[in-house]
Chain A
Amino acid sequence: MSNTQPAAVASERTHLKARKVSFAWEKTPLHWVPGDPFTTHTINVLHLLLPAGERWFIHVYRQILPYIHDDRLREDVIGFIGQEAVHSQAHDDVLPRLRELGIDPTPYTAQVDWLFEKLLGDRTLPPGRASTWWLMERVAMIAAIEHYTAFLGDWILNADALDRRGADPTMLDLLRWHGAEEVEHRSVAFDVFMHVDGGYRRRVRTWGTAFSALVFLWQRGVRFFMENDPTLLDGKASFKAFHTSGKQGTLPSTGAILRSVPTYLSRSYHPSQEGSTAQAVEYLTRSPAALAAEAETGAVAPAATATTKGA
């Protein structure tokens, strides 16, 4: 069987740069999708997984840099790392707010920390084949996870149902700024994997690992939130509730999630075939957080260099 080389859509490539965003959380309520704790908490699981997960991406990508012999890809990876670093910080900064609202996520996040720091961390392996194998395996896992972050990014940019339900604007901006940057850099992890390894069996295997781990962690996270939400007497999470929210458009639909599986496993798949960079860039031109970041580090930067006291 011929192995079709996945084709990148050239027009979807964009210059990647980290944005120095900031968010004020003190007005965000516990149920930031009003009256819908299940949807709120399902999306909240992101704040539990991403800080540790994205730190791990960076940890792995620092080690992969010497394996990259393509200047354009190298430039992409450097931009990717910065964006992921700020994503990790931004989601981490939501956690103190959750504590203020009565849910201390530490029992859960300490496990996620263990998963990424220890289980998926660097292992004492003989240098050479074994350690290269472990590095490539992790690079492939990141590509699989990034398939889902891009999927979620594309979904959140189009999730008008959340606006209609009156979701908290700060939280929506965090999710959409993040989602837009995920769409912007959706090809990088896949390109890195194809550049350094690209084996189809590894792609399938690591997809299996990543997908099962995501499902496992996510359902556990939602249950954790529902059980520890101080305002819910008998908080339960169920697949039925997930499916219903998916139909209403406040969460991704079950069908779309299932359809994303063969997409990733197709031999001709390339992330640039899914989602729209133009839409992501358009959102970033009006995201309040991204605009503030622009004002601080972009246009005003030359002036800011000469700041004197009180000027």
Chain B
Amino acid sequence: MALPRLGTVVLVSGAALLTRRALKRRIARSPLWPLPALPEPISGHSERRATAVRRLLVTGRTVIADGVVQLRLEGFGLPAWSPGAHLDLVLPSGLVRQYSLCGDPEDAGAYTVATRLVADGRGGSREVHEQLQEGQEVEVRGPRNRFPLAEAPAHLFVVGGIGITPVLPMLRSLAASGADWRLLYGGRSRASMPFLEEIEKLGADGDRVTVVAQDEAGHPDIAGAFTGLAPGTAVYCCGPEPLMDAVAAVLPEGCALHLERFSAASGDAAGAGSGPFEVELRRTGRTVPVAAGQSVLDAVRTAVPHVSYSCEQGFCGTCQQRVLEGEIDHRDDLLTEGERDDSMLICVSRCRGERLVLDL
């Protein structure tokens, strides 16, 4: 009776030893055997980089106009950007402010931003002006582009004051490619308007640049800038709110308006441009109205109670939905440019027109 048992034990342990040896050899040849791999890896290959910040060194601080300081922030292997992009600066106090990049996109070793001191502002610009000195480090996020150059036969820029910062790299790029562009640039006084000299040089080949300093010539003639505008011209506006309203009021049919406003940050449900619209839920087969100041998420939840969401501030990404039709007003801090083409975070982002169609 004992013998067969012993035989079994020997057989089983022999088999176990052989298996172990075979496995060891196989693993030695290829340490990551035997799991299959996803052909297009996801982890570590996302372009979102939402939680990554960089510490850049302030290596240049120049006063380039009255109350305007330009900072050169140096780093190593910085992500590429395109004209119109902005950078989030995490200031020493924890305040986060967005500043447009106004340097050379080809320079992977530094970013350049320019900021105007707003004496009665909320402290961001004061902190930049007083605390960011040469040799100091500052954390940045981004860059991101919410104000890119459009494909258009002609380009018209209407700019107020420091709003010139995102536009400057655009002008450089358009001038280099020989495109058709014009600029109406208003400010309080010539001394307070940055980059004047360079811009006038860029536009020297035609009557492209109109500079209107308030102390010399009053307010710029916005309606005048739009007379004789070629159809299909892309119109860009960056400046104070009244300027953007004035441009929107005179915009002719057939011209797309591109606004750069920085008030679109998280939680701005009641801010500018949050008027009502409607959302069609294609798969559910219902259309829900979104009231002014109400989030798309809130409106959608009435029809689809189990729609997923979490942070409601545009950073966790849980509420991302595919958009089938409609022009999206992206207000999140997370999605990549590619993702923005056909999806949105419904907790903060809205609609530029009157109707969105979601794949929900």
A binding-site residues for B, Cβ under 8 Å: 17-18, 20-27, 48, 51-52, 55, 58, 61-62, 65-66, 78-79, 81-83, 85-86, 89-90, 92-93, 95-96, 98-99, 105-115, 117-118, 220, 223-224, 227, 291-292, 295-297, 300-311
B229 at the interface (CB under 8 A from A): no
Contact A305/B118 with A52-B43, A93-B51, A295-B95 known, Cβ cut-off 8 Å:
no
B239: A residues at CB distance < 8 A: 309
Q: Are A300 and B311 in contact (CB under 8 A)?
A: no
B residues within 8 A CB of A85?
310-311, 316-318
Cβ–Cβ < 8 Å partners of B315 in chain A: 18, 20, 86, 297
Q: How large is the interface on B (under 10, 10 to 19, 20 to 34, 35 or more residues)?
A: 35 or more
A24-B139, A85-B317, A297-B313 known; A106+B44 contact, CB < 8 A: yes
User: In the bound complex, what is the Cα–Cα distance between A113 and B316 (angstroms)?
Assistant: 20
In angstroms, how far is the closest chain B Cβ from the Cβ of A154?
23
A27 with B55: CB separation less than 8 A? yes
Partner of B118, one of A17, A111, A310: A310
State the CA gap A247–B202 with chains docked (Å). 68
Instruction: Please report the C-alpha to C-alpha distance between residue A287 and residue B125 in the assembled complex, in whole angstroms.
Output: 26
Main secondary structure of the interface of A (DSSP, over half): helix
Are B37's CB and A114's CB within 8 A?
yes
User: B308 contacts which chain A residues (CB < 8 A)?
Assistant: 58, 61-62, 65, 78, 81
Contacting residues, chain A, for B41 (C-beta < 8 A)? 106, 109-110, 113
B262 within 8 A of A: yes
A113 to B46, CA, bound (A): 13
Q: Separation in Å of the A291 CB from the closest CB of chain B?
A: 7
Neighbouring B residues of A108 by C-beta, 8 Å: 32
Are B99 and A310 closer than 8 Å at their CB atoms? yes
Query: Inside 8 A of A106's CB, which chain B residues have their CB?
Result: 41, 44-45
Query: With contacts A108-B32, A307-B262 known, is A82 near B44, CB below 8 A?
Result: no
Q: Residue B72 at the A interface, CB < 8 A?
A: no
Q: In the bound complex, what is the Cα–Cα distance between A20 and B310 (angstroms)?
A: 12
Contact of A24 with B54 in the complex, beta carbons under 8 Å: yes
12 pairs from A and B in contact (CB 8 Å cutoff): A18-B315, A20-B315, A22-B51, A51-B42, A96-B44, A96-B49, A111-B35, A295-B96, A297-B313, A303-B122, A305-B263, A307-B97
Per-residue 0/1 for B236-267: is the Cβ within 8 Å of any A Cβ (1 yes, 0 no)? Answer: 00111100000000000000000011110111
Known contacts A48-B43, A92-B44: does B266 contact A311 (CB below 8 Å)? no
| Residues from chain A with Cβ under 8 Å of B51 in the complex | 21-23, 86, 89-90, 93
Chain B residues near A95 (CB-CB < 8 A): 43-44
Q: Are A224 and B32 in contact (CB under 8 A)?
A: yes
Residues of chain A with a CB closer than 8 A to B333's CB: 20
Do A310 and B310 form a contact, CB below 8 Å, given A52-B43, A85-B317, A105-B44? no
Q: Do B141 and A22 touch across chains, with their CB atoms under 8 A apart?
A: yes
Given contacts A85-B310, A117-B42, A311-B118, contact A110 B37 (CB under 8 A): yes
Q: Which residues of B contact A (CB under 8 A)?
A: 31-32, 35-39, 41-46, 48-55, 75-76, 90, 93-100, 115-118, 121-122, 124-125, 139, 141, 162-163, 165, 238-241, 260-263, 265-268, 270-271, 306, 308-311, 313, 315-318, 333
Residues of B within 8 A of A112 (CB): 43
CA distance A92 to B48 in the complex (A): 10
Chain A residues within an 8 Å CB radius of B121:
310-311
In the complex, A117→B316 CA distance in Å?
20
In the A-B complex, the 6 residue pairs with the closest CB atoms: A82-B310, A295-B94, A95-B44, A110-B37, A110-B41, A311-B121
Given contacts A307-B265, A310-B125, contact A18 B37 (CB under 8 A): no
Q: Are B318 and A58 in contact (CB under 8 A)?
A: yes
Q: Are A66 and B263 in contact (CB under 8 A)?
A: no
What CA separation (Å) do A225 and B5 show in the bound complex? 44
Residue in chain A with minimal CB distance to B238: A309
**Once bound together, how far apart are the Cα atoms of A115 and B270, in whole Å?**
44
B77: nearest chain-A partner, CB-CB: A100
A78 and B55 in contact, given A20-B315, A52-B42, A112-B43 (Cβ under 8 angstroms):
no
CB closest residue in chain A, given B129: A310
Whether the pair A311, B38 counts as a contact (CB closer than 8 A) is: no
Please tell me if the beta carbons of B316 and A301 are within 8 angstroms of each other in the complex.
Answer: no
CB of A308 within 8 A of CB of B311, answer: no
Residue of A nearest to B68 (CB): A310
A263 to B97, CA, bound (A): 48
